[in-house]
């Protein structure tokens, strides 16, 4: 739009050194002084140039600056007029800001600028509006000034370039010194609206008729990303070796596994992959397909990436109705059947939107297929390092990216792109700062600051000699903090806007689309008014002007990636270090609260549309659960739930609640318990409010929310909280069952079993048995008489749970038939529907095997445990995040049986695998995995002891004791069993190392604790108490305290004899230990007759056991016979 004023003519920001010196010679001395005061030579500019100083101090006010600016402009223009500089170069000293912008960014009506050389002429999409005021009506100089002729010339030049159809010329008159005849505005509005509609229609038609396929668009965008990454690649000697290794892998014509490139965050993996792809195109004739994860909207999931790659190979993949496991199996087969010579590069799999266990990746591929994958391995980001851990198990071809050692070369390349450089002292300082960070990321971010360093402002100390004029922070985190600060300090973005954008992106977890971000920002009316006050114009839309985001995005874009979710292209920070910095910003919590408030306003606005019409409902659930995970603010959680309950559209609310439920279940199934709890607590807070208002509609959903959260609490060992929820749930379920038995029987039984398990975990076994017996009666009746298919799972669960409680009540004989019944039912359903019943079936196998072992029926237990392990191993391979608990328990169960059979090497192999899995899980979530990890430590520690690997044994058992001790303080009855066993196990290893004092103190503590527990609840603690008696007695004998040992052994034998007579199979190990120990002590006391009687009984028992299970009992039986015969000679 151009009128009759030519406009402001700005001073040139930069004048090349040679040109400036030429002009300077034409300027009088007094004016030279003024000019060189404001223009300073900057050798860091390429070519070297004089740069206009920044306005600081009083000159920040335009009133002060205007006089200086006018004077400098006049000096330069006068010199230019008298110089021999060519006309084209002269023009820039006289051009208005408007004309300069048109020439640079829109119309090349002189020769093309450097910027325009990379663009196509696009005048068909440019609209020109030219207003002419009748000069004869001029009143003063508001609308027409002395630059009138230049304004007309400018309009004529632009008009010559534009198409007639894209031009609108209007004439008007001046009515007063401040007002024009504005009738032309209606014509302008009609024409501009017509033009915009036409452009939109043409663009839509172009896109509809565009022959470029989605694949071609993806390839083009991936290639652009590759080119950008190549700009930041600097080849070092070490990287040459890495590239040579990649080349050797590609040229190897033998079958092989995938090649994995790994390194820490910011090491330059993507740039290396870009270079490897570029090189492969020169030396290999294979078809190359590559994808940089997150570089495009459709490169954020494995499904999208792999489907697209196979399309590139001319192979169609139908992934629509397949689960990811089924999809992975399909891709695996397709890879094995590829008949083309191909190379596949996939960069940054740690950035994938969803978990990938790489089931699609064959362990050995045909020789014609080469796959190269890069991923993160960084101790600071253990969660995302899981991809590397998984890939390690798929391939032995692994290359670590070397430490980057060419920072100067890279910084020069990056600055060259900006026509900038550094001076020697500045380079030396940069290298000094780089030494701490030592990563390409540091260089890339530092370049954003270094490109503004002037050569005239060298690294000199200040007047006090204690501070640098220019400085760089020396860590990745520090340089990112500096970059974000400089968005405000150097680039003059509005500070509130910058930190709001950063805060919103971080709070959203997955990122935001541009549309979402702008809507969220614009919904905050007070913020928009602060950003865009109506001082000079009226903000009709009341939205945030787009220019704010456009300017900021131009500088953030180098560090942002994008992915597609729910048909939105989300932008997020590619490097985790940016998120680490943003989350530590002082206002981040406030920004998180602000984006929640903005999303609430948009939800209210859109609630009458379909829930999936936009992402604001899903985004709200993410925002409030992330807020809860980060800030633990219970009041806010309740407020955010209340907001949903106050919405008027119940259909929208119901879909939102279903979304929260599904999210919680998904997180639970993949063992992301903190996230599961956040979703489930949010659901329960919301549904509780809704249920209070409308119990008829929401009671069932409320009850389900109670059950789901209680189950997850129990997995996190939050037993008391789980119990409270289940006690509320049982009252609801019981009332419903009594009113409508057929409808609510199943829900009632599930609630009974859940509550019983909580009492069991709190060592309230009588309450547990009572509830489980009620549940079993209801379940059995409905299973046998009403609907076996519907009741099969809950019925068998009731059988298994009651059997487990019987076990701890010393009623094992009653429990085994229940376990056998459960296995029969579950096996039948497993054979009919393996995928649905596989988990339940393996639980039944293990539970029955455990009880068989407790009855000394190891031979019967082994096939059950081996079958369970075989099934679970396959499940774990397919979905590690879903099956780690079940798989490691099977490993531990079978290893214990192998140890009993003295197959120590086989046992250790299983236990070491269990330990490697469980250690990583425990480090990620110690509260969730504490119990399973201590069991694994204890099992492997005792196996190492059995193989005389005592130092390794003590290390593991010490760790187990430390964990158990800490957890004991949190929940005594929950953890006391594991604590006393850890004491006993570690004591035994110390004794074998002759560290008897340490062993004795631990065994005394274990004895005192179990004695107290036995007195409180004999049926529950008799076995643990008997073991501590026997172990402590052996230690007393070792330090010649025979009387102490004898007293303990007599108690042990008396107690275990009564239990042995009642259940010999279960008590045979403990009882024979008691016989052996007391017989030995009596022999030492020279009471040979009593000793011989006990030894004779020991030989009789072990002989019968030896016949049934020689593997375990042979050594024990032979030792008993040898000692008995030796004692007879006495």
| Residues 1095-1111 pLDDT 10s | 999 999 998 888 877 87
User: Average pLDDT of 606-616?
Assistant: 94
Would you report the helix, strand and coil content of the chain in percent, each value rounded to 5? 70, 5, 25
Instruction: Categorize the per-residue pLDDT at 116 as very low, low, confident or very high, splitting at 50, 70 and 90.
Output: very low
- Determine the Cα–Cα distance for residues 198 and 163; give it in Å rounded to an integer: 14
Query: Which residues does residue 891 pair with via DSSP β-bridges, in sequence order?
Result: none
Show the beta-strand stretches assigned E in 963-1098.
none
- Determine the Cα–Cα distance for residues 1107 and 1110; give it in Å rounded to an integer: 6
Q: What pLDDT is recorded for position 534?
A: 77
Tell whether the model's pLDDT for residue 463 goes beyond 60. no
Pairing of strands 259-263, 179-180: unpaired
Tell whether the model's pLDDT for residue 884 goes beyond 50. yes
Tell whether the model's pLDDT for residue 440 goes beyond 50. yes
Q: Is 571 helix (H, G, I), strand (E, B) or coil?
A: strand
Query: Which residues does residue 135 pair with via DSSP β-bridges, in sequence order?
Result: none
* 140-198 pLDDT tens trace: 888 888 888 988 998 888 888 888 888 889 999 999 998 999 888 888 888 888 888 98
Lowest mean pLDDT: which of 228-232, 610-614, 712-716, 970-974? 970-974
Tell whether the model's pLDDT for residue 464 goes beyond 70. no
- Determine the Cα–Cα distance for residues 717 and 761; give it in Å rounded to an integer: 9
Write the CB contacts of 169 (distance below 8 Å, at least 6 apart in sequence): 130, 131, 132, 159
* % of the chain beyond a pLDDT of 70: 96
Write the CB contacts of 7 (distance below 8 Å, at least 6 apart in sequence): 96, 97, 98, 99, 147, 151
With CA atoms as reference, report the closest residue to 856 among 904, 897, 806. Answer: 897
Q: What pLDDT is recorded for position 466?
A: 45
Residue 765 burial (CB count, 10 A): 18
Instruction: Categorize the per-residue pLDDT at 629 as very low, low, confident or very high, splitting at 50, 70 and 90.
Output: very high
Tell whether the model's pLDDT for residue 460 goes beyond 70. no
Q: What pLDDT is recorded for position 505?
A: 96
Pairing of strands 369-376, 397-400: unpaired
Pairing of strands 49-52, 39-42: antiparallel
Which residue's entry shows tokens 């270090």?
577
Tell whether the model's pLDDT for residue 1003 goes beyond 50. yes
Regarding predicted confidence, which is higher, 719 or 275?
275
- Determine the Cα–Cα distance for residues 1051 and 225; give it in Å rounded to an integer: 77
* Phi and psi based region of residue 764 (left: phi greater than 0; alpha: psi -120 to 50; beta: remaining): beta
Q: Is pTM beyond 0.75 here?
A: no
Name all domains of the chain by residue range, CATH numbers in brackets: 14-208 (no CATH), 218-404 (3.40.50.300), 408-489 (no CATH), 1010-1130 (1.25.40.10)
Regarding predicted confidence, which is higher, 988 or 380?
988
Lowest mean pLDDT: which of 9-18, 235-244, 449-458? 449-458
Burial class (CB in 10 A: 0-12, 13-18, 19+), 40: middle
Average pLDDT, the chain: 89
Phi/psi for 96 (5° steps) reads -75, 165
Q: What pLDDT is recorded for position 115?
A: 47
Q: Give the angle subtended at the CA of 525 by the CAs of 521 and 528, to the nearest 5°.
A: 60
Instruction: Categorize the per-residue pLDDT at 321 as very low, low, confident or very high, splitting at 50, 70 and 90.
Output: low
Which tokens is 97 given? Answer: 């800001």
Tell whether the model's pLDDT for residue 112 goes beyond 70. no
* 223-249 pLDDT tens trace: 988 998 888 788 888 999 999 999 999
Q: Give the angle subtended at the CA of 169 by the CAs of 165 and 173, to the nearest 5°.
A: 165
* % of the chain beyond a pLDDT of 90: 61
Lowest mean pLDDT: which of 509-523, 675-689, 922-936, 1078-1092? 922-936
Write a three-state SS string for 928-973.
HHHHHHHHHHHHHHHHHHHCCCHHHHHHHHHHHHHHHHHHHHHCHH
């Amino acid at each position: 739009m151009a009128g009759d004023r030519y406009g402001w003519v700005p001073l040139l920001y930069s004048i090349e050194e040679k040109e400036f010196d030429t002009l300077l010679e034409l300027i009088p001395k007094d004016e030279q002084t003024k000019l060189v005061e404001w223009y300073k030579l900057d050798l860091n500019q390429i070519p070297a140039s004089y740069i206009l100083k920044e306005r600081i101090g009083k000159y920040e006010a335009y009133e002060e600056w205007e006089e200086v600016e006018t004077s400098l402009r006049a000096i330069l223009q006068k010199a230019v007029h008298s110089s021999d500089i060519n006309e084209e170069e002269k023009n820039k000293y006289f051009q208005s800001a408007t004309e300069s912008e048109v020439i640079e960014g829109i119309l090349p009506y002189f020769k093309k600028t450097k910027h325009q050389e990379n663009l196509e002429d696009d005048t068909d999409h440019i609209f020109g509006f030219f207003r002419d005021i009748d000069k004869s009506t001029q009143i003063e100089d508001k609308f027409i000034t002395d630059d009138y002729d230049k304004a007309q010339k400018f309009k004529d030049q632009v008009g010559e370039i534009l198409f007639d159809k894209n031009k609108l010329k209007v004439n008007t008159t001046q009515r007063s010194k401040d007002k024009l005849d504005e009738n032309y505005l209606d014509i302008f509005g009609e024409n501009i609206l017509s033009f915009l509609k036409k452009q939109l229609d043409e663009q839509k038609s172009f896109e509809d008729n565009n022959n470029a396929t989605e694949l071609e668009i993806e390839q083009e965008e991936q290639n652009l990303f590759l080119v950008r990454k190549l700009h930041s690649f600097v080849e070092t000697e070490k990287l040459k070796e890495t590239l040579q290794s990649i080349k050797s892998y590609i040229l190897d014509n033998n079958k092989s596994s995938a090649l994995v490139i790994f390194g820490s965050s910011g090491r330059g993996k993507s740039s290396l992959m870009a270079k490897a792809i570029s090189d492969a195109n020169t030396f290999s004739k294979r078809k190359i397909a590559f994808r940089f994860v997150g570089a495009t909207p459709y490169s954020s999931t494995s499904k999208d990436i792999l489907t697209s790659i196979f399309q590139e190979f001319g192979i169609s993949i139908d992934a629509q109705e397949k689960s990811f496991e089924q999809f992975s199996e399909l891709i695996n087969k397709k890879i094995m059947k590829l008949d083309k010579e191909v190379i596949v590069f996939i960069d940054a799999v740690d950035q994938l939107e969803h978990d990938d266990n790489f089931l699609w990746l064959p362990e050995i591929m045909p020789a014609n297929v080469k796959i190269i994958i890069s991923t993160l391995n960084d101790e600071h980001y253990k969660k995302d390092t899981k991809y590397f851990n998984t890939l390690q198990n798929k391939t032995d071809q692994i290359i670590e990216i070397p430490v980057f050692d060419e920072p100067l070369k890279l910084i020069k390349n990056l600055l060259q792109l900006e026509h900038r450089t550094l001076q020697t002292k500045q380079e030396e300082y940069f290298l000094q700062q780089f030494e701490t960070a030592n990563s390409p990321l540091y260089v890339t971010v530092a370049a954003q600051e270094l490109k503004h360093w002037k050569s005239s402002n060298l690294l000199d100390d200040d007047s006090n000699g204690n501070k640098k004029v220019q400085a760089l922070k020396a860590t990745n985190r520090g340089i990112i903090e500096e970059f974000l600060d400089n968005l405000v300090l150097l680039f003059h973005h509005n500070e509130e806007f910058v930190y709001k954008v950063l805060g919103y992106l971080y709070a959203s977890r997955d990122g935001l689309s541009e549309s979402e971000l702008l809507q969220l920002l614009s919904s905050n009316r007070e913020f928009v008014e602060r950003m865009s006050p109506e001082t000079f114009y009226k903000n009709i839309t009341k939205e945030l002007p787009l220019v704010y985001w456009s300017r900021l995005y131009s500088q953030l874009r180098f560090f942002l990636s994008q992915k597609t979710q729910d048909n939105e292209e989300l932008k997020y920070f590619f490097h985790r270090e940016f998120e680490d910095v943003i989350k530590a910003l002082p206002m981040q919590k406030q920004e998180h609260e602000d984006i929640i408030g903005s999303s609430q306003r948009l939800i209210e606005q859109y609630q009458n549309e379909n829930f999936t019409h936009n992402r604001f409902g899903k985004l709200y659930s993410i925002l409030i659960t992330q807020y809860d995970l980060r800030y633990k603010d219970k009041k806010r959680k309740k407020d955010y739930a209340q907001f949903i309950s106050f919405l008027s559209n119940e259909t929208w609310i119901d879909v939102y609640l279903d979304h929260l439920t599904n999210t919680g279940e998904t997180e639970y199934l993949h063992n992301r318990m903190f996230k599961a709890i956040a979703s489930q607590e949010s659901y329960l807070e919301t549904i509780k409010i809704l249920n209070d208002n409308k119990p008829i509609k929401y009671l069932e959903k409320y009850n389900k929310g109670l059950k789901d959260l209680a189950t997850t609490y129990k997995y996190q060992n939050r037993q008391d909280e789980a119990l409270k929820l289940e006690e509320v749930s049982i009252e609801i379920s019981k009332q419903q069952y009594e009113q409508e038995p057929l409808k609510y029987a199943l829900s009632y039984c599930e609630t009974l079993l859940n509550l019983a398990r909580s009492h069991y975990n709190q060592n309230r076994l009588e309450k547990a048995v009572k509830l489980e017996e009620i549940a079993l009666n209801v379940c059995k009746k409905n299973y046998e008489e009403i609907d076996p298919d519907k009741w099969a799972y809950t019925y068998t669960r009731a059988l298994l749970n009651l059997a487990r409680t019987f076990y701890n009540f010393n009623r094992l004989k009653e429990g085994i038939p229940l376990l056998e019944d459960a296995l029969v039912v579950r096996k039948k359903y497993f054979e009919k529907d393996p995928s649905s019943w596989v988990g339940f079936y393996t639980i039944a196998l293990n539970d029955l095997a455990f009880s068989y072992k407790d009855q000394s029926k190891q031979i019967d237990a082994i096939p059950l445990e081996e079958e369970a392990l075989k099934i679970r191993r396959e499940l774990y391979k397919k979905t590690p995040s879903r099956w780690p608990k079940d798989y490691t328990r099977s490993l531990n169960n079978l290893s214990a049986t192998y140890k009993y059979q003295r197959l120590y090497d086989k046992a250790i192999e299983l236990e070491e695998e269990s330990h490697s899995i469980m250690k990583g899980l425990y480090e990620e979530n110690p509260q969730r995995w504490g119990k399973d990890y201590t069991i694994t430590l204890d099992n492997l520690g005792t196996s190492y002891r059995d193989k005389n690997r005592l130092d390794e044994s003590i290390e593991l058992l010490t760790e187990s004791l430390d964990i158990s001790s800490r957890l004991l303080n949190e929940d005594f009855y929950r953890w006391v069993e594991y604590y006393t066993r850890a004491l006993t196990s570690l004591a035994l290893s110390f004794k074998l190392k002759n560290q008897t004092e340490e062993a004795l103190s631990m065994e005394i503590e274990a004895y005192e604790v179990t004695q107290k527990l036995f007195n409180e609840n004999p049926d529950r603690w008799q076995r643990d108490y008997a073991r501590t008696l026997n172990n402590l007695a052996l230690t007393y004998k070792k330090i010649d305290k025979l009387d102490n040992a004898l007293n303990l052994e007599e108690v042990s034998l008396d107690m275990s004899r009564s239990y042995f007579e009642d259940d010999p199979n279960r008590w045979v190990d403990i009882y024979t230990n008691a016989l052996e120990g007391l017989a030995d002590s009596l022999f030492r006391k020279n009471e040979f007759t009593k000793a011989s009687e006990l030894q004779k009984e020991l030989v009789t028992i072990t002989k019968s056991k030896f016949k049934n299970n020689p593997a375990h009992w042979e050594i024990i039986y032979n030792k008993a016979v040898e000692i008995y015969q030796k004692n007879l000679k006495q």
